[in-house]
Amino acid sequence: MFNYIKKNYGWLIVTLIAVGQLGIIIYHIDLSNGFSFKPDAERPNMTGLEFMVHFTSEIGIRWMVAVLTATPVYILLDLNNVLVRQSMGIATAVFSFLHFIFFIWDEGFAQTFSEFNYIAGFIATIILIPLFFTSNRKSMRKLKNRWKKIQQYAYVAIVLSIVHIAFLDDIWIAYALVIGLGFIIRMNPIKEKIIAKRLEVLKR
């Protein structure tokens, strides 16, 4: 048991965090008058359903940013775990799908196409569908080189997601800076220098 936890602690932590976040959604379910959601105590100006829309949006994009920082973290710290990355990808998709469901529940499906940022969010959600269903080792083995090409659409999804929230919240600047820094670290000349420096430190 201990060896299993030691080997798999990364994706287990991701799973526990995601389950805890789903627990917050379950906690807000109100069955006293049909099926609805209780307002959040910290956001009393929102209805329960509006809170669900915002909460799942925040969590979804945070997981997405976490997925896209996995490679820069590997470059900087030599930490790489495919299962952790796949677990974060699944969490990204789950909360993004929930966000879309809560949004059309609250606003109606037609509202999806009423504004540019909503359209961007809708396209990002569609892109996540194939990423969700291929975030497993079976798909990696079956698709081989095509798997990486499919997963690269995650970058399109994060750009569209940032556009989606840019019209709604200033937090998009922080997400854009993190993603931008990650892209800089991934550039070959910079990546090679970082890895060479890291190896040099390890040899001392």
- pTM, entire model: 0.87
Q: Do the beta carbons of residue 162 and residue 146 sit within 8 Å? A: no
Structure tokens belonging to residue 156: 């399109």
Q: How far is C-alpha 182 from the chain's CA centre? A: 15
Measured distance CA(112)–CA(103) in Å, rounded: 8
Output the pLDDT for position 70: 85
DSSP string of 25-57, one letter each residue: HHHTEE-TTSSEEPPPTT-TTS-HHHHHHHHHH
Output the pLDDT for position 204: 66
Residues of the chain with pLDDT under 70: 1-2, 4, 6, 80, 204
What is the signed CA dihedral for 53, 57, 60, 61, rounded to 10 degrees?
A: 180
Q: What residue spans of the chain are helical by DSSP H?
A: 2-27, 48-68, 70-77, 82-107, 116-133, 137-143, 145-151, 153-166, 172-186, 188-203
> Which among 78, 87, 67 has a CA at the least distance from the CA of 153?
67
- Domain residue ranges of the chain, discontinuous segments joined by +: 2-203
